[in-house]
């Protein structure tokens, strides 16, 4: 028995790198897989059906079931076609992995609106487009009495969660994807749909140029190597499975053998401005400096009446 027997999965951008490893491992664990890939360049130019076709062949050669889809996630109607591929080929959808991505790195003062737009279109709109169509399908299923046990797994990056110079387009999109995932987890739980993120890593064509390293397909590694982009796939398989039924709205990172869970944005220390009688009063700008320097940067006496909110 595979962990994902009976489930149907879509992996976007599964023709190369991280998504390729995820599609193959999902199939190895019993899922039927739609291998979506537009087949363009790292910067998002052109298209080629061979990227998706090759992965379908790999999955079939390992005894799995898969079909190819070549639509662009950046296109709203294309995304509808991707969801439709799963229903047409396998009669259902249980797992949506949004992985497709492109890069156009530049410092903001050199970045054209087109470079900003095209990256946001694939990562942020791409995830929105597929999630929208998939959630309409799952909501209908739920309303007709077939409550889904479904999972969305979106792909994020430290560039968005921690920041990276030269990636203002990509970082903004990835931070947005993390925010959309948390919102999706809130909106879709009543329909049996969970939504989580994975931050992957590995020597893919996307990062190879910068790192000057060889790019191999995940299935071509014969022993453990930290840079195998297939190393991130086990987190996707588990998050997609019913074993993770209690897990939603979370951001995981799995790179090499290093598994981590991101902490969410949370409210830090809070301070209330008060007058001498203890009544609430507006903040004075320089009082803000004194309080923040004293309690947050620990450098100066605040010198006003202020009370830490417990
Ligand atoms: N490789 C890393 O170290 C790393 C780190 C953090 C996050 N990521 C993320 O992992 C994901 C996969 O990246 P990768 O490194 O495997 O890169 P990759 O270039 O090897 O794979 C990305 C795939 O997405 C496809 N794609 C691009 N635009 C598409 C579109 N509009 N519609 C459908 N498919 C499209 C490409 O054809 C390609 O096959 C991306 O979301 C990326 O941002 C990768």
Provide the pLDDT for residue 306: 56
- Three-state DSSP at 107 gives coil
| pTM across the whole model | 0.95
Decide if 3 is inside a domain: no
Provide the pLDDT for residue 309: 59
228: containing domain: 8-261
Question: Ligand 1 centre and the CA of 248: distance in Å?
Answer: 23
Total structural domains in the chain? Answer: 2
Question: Ligand 1 centre and the CA of 102: distance in Å?
Answer: 6
Choose one of 39, 200, 226 to mutate for the ligand 1 pocket test, by most ligand atoms within 8 angstroms of C-beta.
Answer: 200
Same domain, 108 and 199: yes
Provide the pLDDT for residue 1: 77
Q: Is 69 in the pocket of ligand 1 (CB under 6 A)?
A: no
Using pLDDT thresholds of 50, 70 and 90, give the confidence band for residue 296: confident
**CA-closest residue to ligand 1 atom 32:** 72
Same domain, 234 and 276: no
Q: Which tens digits make up the pLDDT trace of 25-36?
A: 999 999 999 999
The pLDDT of 230-240, averaged and rounded, is: 98
Same domain, 81 and 224: yes
pLDDT of 119 higher than 80: yes
**Local structure of residue 274 (DSSP, 8 states):** B
**CA-closest residue to ligand 1 atom 7:** 157
The pLDDT of 57-70, averaged and rounded, is: 98
Using pLDDT thresholds of 50, 70 and 90, give the confidence band for residue 308: low
Q: Which tens digits make up the pLDDT trace of 180-229?
A: 999 999 999 999 999 999 999 999 999 987 777 889 999 999 999 999 99
Q: How far apart are CA 36 and CA 11, in angstroms?
A: 6
- How much is the mean pLDDT over the chain? 95
Same domain, 294 and 226: no
Decide if 245 is inside a domain: yes
Provide the pLDDT for residue 3: 97
Q: Is 19 in the pocket of ligand 1 (CB under 6 A)?
A: yes
Q: How far apart are CA 128 and CA 125, in angstroms?
A: 5
Residue whose token pair is 């919102």: 183
Same domain, 138 and 239: yes
Same domain, 292 and 255: no
Query: What is the domain-level CATH number for residue 22?
Result: 3.40.50.720
Which position among 125, 170, 221, 295 bears the catalytic label? 170
Helix residue ranges per DSSP H, the chain: 17-28, 50-61, 76-90, 113-120, 126-143, 158-161, 168-188, 205-211, 233-240, 285-291
């Amino acid at each position: 028995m595979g962990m994902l027997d009976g489930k149907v999965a879509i992996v976007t951008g599964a023709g190369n790198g991280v998504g390729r490893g995820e599609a193959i491992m999902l199939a190895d664990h019993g899922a039927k897989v739609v291998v979506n890939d537009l087949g363009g360049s790292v910067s998002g130019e052109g298209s080629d059906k061979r990227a998706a076709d090759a992965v379908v062949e790999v999955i079939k050669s390992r005894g799995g079931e898969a079909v190819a889809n070549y639509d662009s996630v950046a296109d709203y109607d294309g995304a509808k076609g991707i969801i439709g591929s799963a229903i047409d080929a396998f009669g259902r959808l249980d797992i949506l992995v949004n992985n497709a991505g492109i890069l156009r790195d530049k410092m903001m003062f050199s970045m054209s609106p087109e470079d900003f737009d095209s990256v946001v279109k694939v990562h942020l709109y791409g995830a929105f487009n597929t999630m929208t169509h998939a959630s309409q399908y799952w909501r209908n299923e739920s309303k007709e009495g077939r409550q889904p046990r479904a999972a969305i797994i979106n792909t994020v990056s430290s560039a968005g969660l921690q920041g990276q110079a030269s990636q203002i387009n990509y970082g903004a999109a990835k931070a947005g994807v993390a925010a959309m995932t948390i919102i999706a987890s809130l909106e879709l739980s009543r329909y049996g749909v969970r939504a989580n993120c994975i931050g992957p890593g590995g020597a893919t064509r996307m990062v190879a140029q910068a790192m000057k390293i060889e790019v191999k397909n995940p299935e071509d590694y014969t022993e453990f190597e930290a840079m195998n982009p297939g190393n991130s796939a086990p987190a996707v398989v588990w998050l997609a499975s019913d074993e993770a039924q209690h897990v939603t709205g979370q951001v995981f990172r799995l790179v090499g053998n290093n598994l981590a869970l991101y902490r969410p944005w949370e409210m830090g220390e809070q301070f209330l401005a008060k007058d001498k009688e203890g009544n609430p009063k507006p903040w004075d700008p320089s009082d803000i400096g004194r309080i923040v320097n004293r309690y947050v940067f620990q450098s100066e006496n605040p010198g006003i009446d202020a009370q830490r909110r417990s």
